[in-house]
Amino acid sequence: MMANVAFIGLGNMGGPMAINLVKAGHAVKVFDLSAQACQQLQDAGASVAESASEAIVGAQYVLSMLPAGKHVAGVYLGEEGLLARLDASVTVLDCSTIDAATARQVGEAAAELGIGFMDAPVSGGVAAAAAGTLAFMCGGDAQTFDKARVILADMGKNIFHAGPAGAGQVAKGCNNMLLAIHMIGSCEALEMGARNGLDPKVLSEIMLASSGRNWSLEVYNPYPGVMESAPASNDYQPGFMVDLMLKDLGLALEIAQQSDFQNPMGQLARELYREHQEAGNGQRDFSSILQKLQE
């Protein structure tokens, strides 16, 4: 199916996602504040709009990938917002990672206007965005999910309906909190083994065949030299930056607090990553937390 798609926000994730929609044969009209980002999409075959409101003219799908909740609210809500300019035939998918409360607010505003909206944050990072293998965690109604899946399938391979509006953000918060925790745990185990004479590569193989097995060890090993393709073996070039992990751990803490839940491991992970960031490592890959533990 070919669709008219508006794509707003062409950063490290949004750019490659929009390019995959062009490659899939959709008519994509883009907008971003960065002229360079827009040029890259124009070179790939997209058309460039002068504003977000121009980008959505004639669109069947509106997608956005923005930095934070305030940006999402600013783009969609109010008399000047995009929702006021759309009709019920359009499906809106916000792929930003933001606070669940803002996602619910935008979802409710869309529902009042009869517009299908989903918060659809992603997992997989820049490499998966480029490869078109992202996981999408969607919050909204079943009818909108069926429409969303058609477009999301051209950018990702695992597309989940997590629940009502905001549920996508909650799922992403839970996932990335767990990712931070098992990354730190993997680093601790590998460093403890290394200090007691074990080869980190051999120890990784042992743990991968045992009950300590996890994604950080298997796909993204944090110890330099164990896995050639991992950021650890490339001086911790991201990947997924410490800055972004800290943002996600902050969002996870908000979700916990809103539901009156104590998340001690998540809070400790956030504290460790905050200290690591303050030491000047914000732009490095989040697996570089190993070096903090080595100190």
Task: Grade residue 53 by pLDDT with cuts at 50, 70 and 90.
Answer: very high
Furthest CA-CA distance within the chain: 65
Q: Which three-class secondary structure state does DSSP give residue 85?
A: helix
The pLDDT tens digits of the residues spanning 68-116 come to 999 999 999 999 999 999 999 999 999 999 999 999 999 999 999 999 9
- Convert the pLDDT of each residue in 183-240 to its tens digit: 999 999 999 999 999 999 999 999 999 999 999 999 999 999 999 999 999 999 998 9
DSSP state of 281: I
Mean pLDDT of the chain: 97
Contact 117, 108 (CB under 8 A): no
State how far Cα 154 lies from the chain centre. Answer: 16
Q: Is the pLDDT of residue 1 over 80?
A: no
pLDDT at 125 over 90: no
164 secondary structure, DSSP code: S
For residue 40, the tally of other CB atoms under 10 A from its CB is 18
Range list of β-strands (E), the chain: 4-8, 27-31, 47-48, 61-64, 91-94, 116-119, 122-123, 134-139, 156-163
Catalytic residues, by residue number, are 172
Domains parsed from the chain with CATH numbers: 4-165 (3.40.50.720), 170-294 (1.10.1040.10)
Confidence of residue 126 (pLDDT cuts 50, 70, 90): confident
pLDDT-derived band at 293, boundaries 50, 70, 90: very high
| One-letter identity of residue 25 | G
Q: Residue 121's pLDDT is what? A: 98
- CA dist list (Å): 267 to 112, 193, 246, 264: 36, 26, 11, 5
Output the pTM of the full model: 0.94
Q: Is the pLDDT of residue 61 over 80?
A: yes
* Whole-angstrom distance, CA of residue 229 vs CA of residue 211: 24
Element (H, E) at 202: helix 200-208
